[in-house]
Amino acid sequence: MMEHEIMREIIQEFFKKTLTLRLFWLSTAVILLFILPLFISTAYISLISEMLIMALAGCALNLMMGYTGMVSFGPAGLYAVGAYTTALLLKKTGIPFAATMVAGPIMAGLVGAVVGWFCVRRTAVYFALLTLAFAQIIWTIFFEWYDFTGGDDGTVGFRKPELLLSINSSYYFILLIVIICLILLWIIVNSPFGKTLQAIRENPVRTEFIGVNVKRYQLYAFIISSLFLGAAGSLFAVFSGSVFPDYAHWIKSTDMIVICLLGGMYNFLGPVIGSAVYIFLSKLISGYTMYWMLFLGIIVVFLVLFMRNGIAGFISHKIAPLIQENKETEK
């Protein structure tokens, strides 16, 4: 009898511990993502591919928004630069596929460096307006430059490596790249550089007085964010096989901002959760009614009023303490 009791306690303890381990949950999720194509139809796989790409875009934006405290209204501009670079290179040149995938983020990073150089000169609402203006300039270029980009017909019919022709194989490709990018971003936000960005978010004036050139660090954050936004854009170009000016539109930027807010800005994986929930909801609701935008509005109102730290914030502040009582002492 006694032994039985002890065994049960040990098992309970084991579950309590593993369930609260972040690494355990993460690896479970990753394994699940890798075996998913065995169980569900390709329609869902392509939906999840889209979620993964938007998760990366959200996390890239969040480096600026959640970690550095710079609210950008124009992330879609840089995302589109990545998408167009890859698409146009695939269409008009013969350079290897891998090179076009690298060129996308690099081009976005370069454009981000120029745009960011202007934007970091202003703060708060002026910064946001500048980013919006630049994104709309980028949109106009893609829209109007018909001979080169195809205007509103988009850039379509570019080559794709044979390996990525099936939905499942392109899903694996996207999954792999997104995971690599997220690991890189995770390393960056936890580095001394990432901590310095958080100090800037918390208190830019004080950060200046500990000897940090705040504007320069904000520019670095802008460039790094642009690189990863570009990577997400390149992935989406390859995934969908077509690129349109609307990728740069402010509506797309709004999607990314809502993804960050919905998932939680102050949590690294917040945008990943946000992307999954947002895209799922958008597909679900737009299947029933034309008024998806109406529901989007309601979601935003709800988020801003009742869930300021998003789903991830809600879980870690409200639900996690219920499961794990001694969190403070451990942390």
Q: List contacts with other proteins (CB under 8 A).
A: 187-188, 190-196, 198-199, 202-203, 205-214, 217, 266, 328, 331
Minimum separation from the CB atom of position 194 to other proteins (A): 7
Tell me the closest approach of the beta carbon of residue 290 to other proteins, in angstroms: 41
The smaller minimum CB distance to other proteins, of residues 185 and 279, is found at 185
Q: Which long-range contacts (CB under 8 A, 24 or more apart) does 42-49 make?
A: 42/167, 42/168, 45/167, 45/168, 45/171, 46/167, 46/171, 46/239, 47/279, 47/280, 47/283, 48/171, 49/167, 49/170, 49/171, 49/174, 49/175, 49/239
Residue whose token pair is 């930027």:
253
Specify the residue, 221 or 256, whose C-beta has the smaller distance to other proteins: 221
State the nearest-atom distance from the C-beta of 295 to other proteins, in Å. Answer: 31
Nearer to other proteins, 152 or 202 (CB): 202
Q: Which is nearer to other proteins, 141 or 188 (CB)?
A: 188
Integer angstrom CA distances of residue 13 from 10, 17, 27, 28, 47 = 5, 6, 20, 19, 38
Among residues 39 and 209, whose Cβ is nearest to other proteins? 209
CB of 280 to other proteins, least distance (A): 30
CB of 18 to other proteins, least distance (A): 22
Q: CA-CA distance, 72 to 185, in Å (whole number)?
A: 18
Task: Report the amino acid identity of residue 305.
Answer: L
Least gap, CB of 157 to other proteins (angstroms): 39
Closest to other proteins by CB, 63 vs 238, is 63
From the list 227, 186, 193, the residue with the least C-alpha distance to 213 is: 193
Nearest to 60 by CA among 197, 232, 177: 232
- Minimum CB–partner distance for residue 212 and other proteins (Å): 5
Q: Report d(CA 311, CA 84) in Å as an integer.
A: 32
Burial of 295 per CB tally in 10 Å (0-12, 13-18, 19+):
middle
Which residues are within 8 A (CB) of 55 and not within 5 positions of it... i.e. 6 or more apart? 178, 182, 259, 271, 272, 274, 275, 276
- Select 187 or 284, whichever has its Cβ closest to other proteins: 187
Looking at the Cβ atoms of 43 and 210, the one nearer to other proteins is: 210
Work out how close the CB of 211 gets to other proteins at its nearest, in angstroms, rounded to a whole number: 4
C-beta of 220: minimal distance to other proteins in Å? 8
Asked if residues 229 and 78 have their Cβ atoms less than 8 Å apart, the reply is yes
Whichever of 210 and 290 has its CB closer to other proteins, that residue is 210
Is the CB of residue 225 less than 8 Å from the CB of residue 61? yes
Q: What is the DSSP letter of 156?
A: E
